[in-house]
Structure 1
């Protein structure tokens, strides 16, 4: 009788450890908050396109948007007439906290397959939750474009 209860206890313990680990990975989506700043002040009504290897999304800053996780950098391209524009890239990072329960469950149930798939699909990576882009004033942007195109004033 005691061996039956020991077996039941072991099965229950295994179910408890692996119960939350049946899903291969976390959600492929991540919610981000986007802000645009010009001259140390936040600017409202700035249209931003966010893109990575998984897709493209549009948000009006300040605002929140859900993007698909990827191991590719997230490009943030923002503009507003009269306020300026910005283009920045944000590198993804691996989760900073070490989740022992997930690791143990992964090893027991899937022999580490979930961590491998998360790493290669990008679902194991995350972008910073708050993105602040620095807008360049319209005049400065126009001067920079002229300088790049060779249309600026050149003195000898």
Structure 2
């Protein structure tokens, strides 16, 4: 009688443990990023940046944190500040750790490794670099601005 009870207890414990592995944790479709703008080796504050990918567009004034939707498409960062400079950077999405134990066991048990279809617009399994450092190019002075700033007498 004790052998049957022991086997039943072992099967119950094993099924409970396996049930925890089968339910892979749901990955959040968003990611929080930190954006910094640099000009001449110094951080520039108050620069407006537009971040965009296949999932949407977000506007921030640096330095800032922004929550974006993950996508397999690259994240384009366009920054500008009048009189200071501008920049355009592209951050590629990189795969999150495939060898995450929970995800690996969940994929093997649930899909038997047959998860061959990959949606190019889906953000599952990818992430962007969490800190984006945008290197700005200095603004080119306008010809009219240089003449108006020149010292001398004003002639009407």
1:102 aligns with 2:106: no
1:31-61 deviations in Å (ceiling 9; x for gaps): 1000001111100000000001111000111
RMSD after superposition: 2.4
Deviations 1:105-148 (CA, angstroms, capped at 9, x unpaired) = 222134347785577623211111111111111117x79xxxxx
Equivalent positions of 1:112-127 (< 5 A) are: 112=113, 121-127=122-128
Q: Where does structure 2 lack aligned partners over 5 or more consecutive residues? A: 144-156
- Which residue number in structure 1 is paired with residue 55 of structure 2? 54
Which digits, 9 at most, give the CA deviation of each residue in 1:86-114, with x for residues without a partner?
A: 11111111114620222102221343477
- Whether 1:29 aligns to 2:30 is yes
Q: Which runs of 4+ in 1 moved over 4 A?
A: 112-120
Number of positions where the alignment pairs a residue of Structure 1 with one of Structure 2: 139
Q: Which has the higher helix share?
A: 1
User: In structure 2, what is the Cα distance between the partners aligned to 1:118 and 1:13?
Assistant: 31
Unaligned regions of 5+ residues in structure 1, if any?
144-156
Aligned partners of 2:61 and 2:105: how far apart in 1?
41
